A = this chain, B = another copy of it.
Amino acid sequence: MWKKVVIFLLIWDSAYSAKLISRLDRESILDAEKKHRTGGNAYLTEREAQANDIVTRLRSKILLEGIANSTGFAPAMHFFQAKPLIESSPIFRMLKAMPKGSVLHLHNTAAVSSKWVIKNLTYRSEAKLCEVNGTVFFTVRQSKFCDSEPQKSITKLRAQNASAEAFDLWLESFINLKLRDPELMHTDVNTVWNDFQQMFDASKDLLMYKPFFEDYHRQMLREFYDDNVQYIELRASLSKVYDANGKDYNEFEIVKIISDIVDSFKKDHPDFFGVKIIYAKHRSIDNETVESFLEKFIALNQEFPDLVVGFDLVGQEDINNPLILFTDQLRKFEKTAPYFFHAGETNGYGSEADLNLVDAVLLNSRRIGHGYSLYKHPVLWKMVKQKGIALEICPLSNQVLRLVTDLRNHPAVFYVSESVPIVIAPDDPGFWDSAAVGFDFYYALMSLAPHSAGIGFLKQIVWDSVKYSTLTEPERTQYAELLQPKWESFLDFIIANKVLNY
């Protein structure tokens, strides 16, 4: 019986008389909707209100121009075409200056610009490659991906090539979807996912080489720091790292390596708050393997309680194992392994990937990765809101991986309208010619938010990235103290009217 009552309340649509409805007016409806949505009810200080006037005026101008002339209107376009337009836009300049707070959905081995990987790692003497059926795999050792194909020195190959630039672009095409997919070649989700997964394999052996692994993660911190990100919760599989002497580093050692890199970076950049790790394994495994990973998580968490803070299962949901397959194992560990499940990253409606959302919520997932299809579930989205489960929204990822074309159709628009908690994240920016999270914020502000959105919306998004992080209360206080002066500088930047100089 109690179940029926709860469900009834969850879908109850509001009891009121038709007569009352008919007396509502325009202003009261619009005002109620404004207050109801993300950031619509945010308290603005005097200076925030001042900055808000500037931002909303600017946005309004851009959005009205985009209605009159929709050609070249970046918020409606695919990132691969819109990137130069966005880069030169005053909104993007403003967002560059904004402290973004936390990035809560990022896969470590796809975090760094493909260009940096090519221009740095492949220029080092250890870097080799093999070609298997037209696909390149980078490595520095005898790689399992090479079968019997020869592994050639990349430096030598480059030297033999007439144009180093052309050669590098060819190399980059194996770890950059934009180069691989002139946008219109991939017409469906599975095809693009195929190339996407391939990129993890192409770079894996290169990145797992300890000196490269370290440099890569240092560069990751640099790119996100430069984009004004203060804190990262990183999905990492902690696959074995190796060095030139053939030594393998296990999960504990890898966490220590990352931890040392972060500490060193923090020493040089005291205004960077840090990194925590969500242990994330591919979902194409069996029950026993899941259980062994969960046990590994517990051990890692005991060794590094402040550092390894959560567990997730990753990989294309549509065609891989659904959460329900692992219910017994996941239930067993739910008190000790905080979950941060990918769920509902699909255009399906009632498919297994879509129903991962139900299981993620029932397994008390602390946040949900993507939650793209959640809006189709009237009971579930209200539960998510009520329980305060934040959705990790990755606009570019969903566009590039072919869930949606025009991001104004992204379901996050609905989540904004209903104040379902969201954070903005880049997922795998290195693989699609993005950098850190700035471009995702551009689309969040310009495509997902209503015409009237401004500082209130940004404030809520940024501070929710603090609220929905896994930080402890004392850490959170410290973090907020670091973020607040940056937020004030951001307001200064806007009020000094730098934003409008375009």
Contacts and interface: CB of A to CB of B under 8 A. Distances in A.
A130 B36 CA distance: 55
Nearest to A377: B33
A81 to B, nearest CB: 8
A387 B18 contact: yes
A417 B387 contact: no
Contacts of A405: 404-406
A350 interface: yes
A29 B380 contact: yes
Contacts of A189: 70, 76
A347 B2 contact: no
A233 B314 CA distance: 50
Contact of A358 (B14, B30, B377): B30
Contacts of A7: 24, 28-29, 32
A29 to B, nearest CB: 5
A230 B418 CA distance: 39
B32 A349 contact: no
Contact of A188 (B73, B347, B413): B73
A413 B381 CA distance: 14
Interface stretch (A262-270, A448-456, A463-471): A448-456
Interface in A1-28: 2-3, 5-7, 9-16, 18, 20-26, 28
A2 B10 CA distance: 24
Interface stretch (A61-69, A142-150, A426-434, A488-496): A61-69
A90 interface: no
Contacts of A70: 188-191, 318
Interface residues of A, number: 83
A382 B290 CA distance: 43
A241 to B, nearest CB: 35
Contact of A76 (B2, B26, B32, B188): B188
A42 interface: no
B20 A347 contact: no
A15 B9 contact: yes
A84 interface: no
Contact of A347 (B76, B319, B403): B76
8 contacts: A6-B16, A12-B14, A14-B382, A16-B386, A24-B383, A26-B324, A29-B377, A29-B383
